[in-house]
Structure 1
């Protein structure tokens, strides 16, 4: 079975729908309590863990979901 190691940095903070790193994203220790957030750029509503999983899966597949060309900050 093949696998690719993926850097998970910013995976919870980057919008899996549009790829932006919005100002109101969950951050640091205080952000751990923020389980759901809305992207200020595209309006997508995210569960923190599901969003991270989508970003990591897309990066692991060598492409990004929804045609995003790059995960910012990764």
Structure 2
């Protein structure tokens, strides 16, 4: 099944259940953006780095941070 077919199936199911699908760019920097303050990490990430502390004092989990950023961006796209 192609990516387009998967997207169409997902949109159909979302519509069926009264939901909305919002797709963000695959290049959106979800892991490199700090979800609390919005600052961007400019260096290279190693996959071994799972948690880090931001300059604003918040400790981030890599996956949770990325999920929060993806959710926030998808909501932003729905409003615009």
Which TM-score applies when normalising by structure 2? Answer: 0.62
Structure with higher Rg: it is 2
Question: How well do the aligned residues superpose, as a CA RMSD in angstroms?
Answer: 2.0
Q: Distance in 2 between matches of 1:58 and 1:3?
A: 13
- Indicate the structure with greater helix content: 2
Q: Which runs of 4+ in 1 moved over 4 A?
A: none
- Structure with the bigger RCO (C-alpha within 8 Å, sep 6+) is 1
Gaps of 5+ in 1: 64-74
Task: Indicate the residue corresponding to 1:2 in structure 2.
Answer: 20
Residue 7 of structure 1 and its aligned partner are, at CA, apart by: 2.3
Which TM-score applies when normalising by structure 1? Answer: 0.67
**Could you say if the C-alpha distance between residues 13 and 32 of structure 1 is closer, same or farther in structure 2, counting changes exceeding 3 Å?**
same
SS at match of 2:76: coil
The answer on whether the counterparts of 1:35 and 1:48 sit within 8 Å (CA) in structure 2 is yes
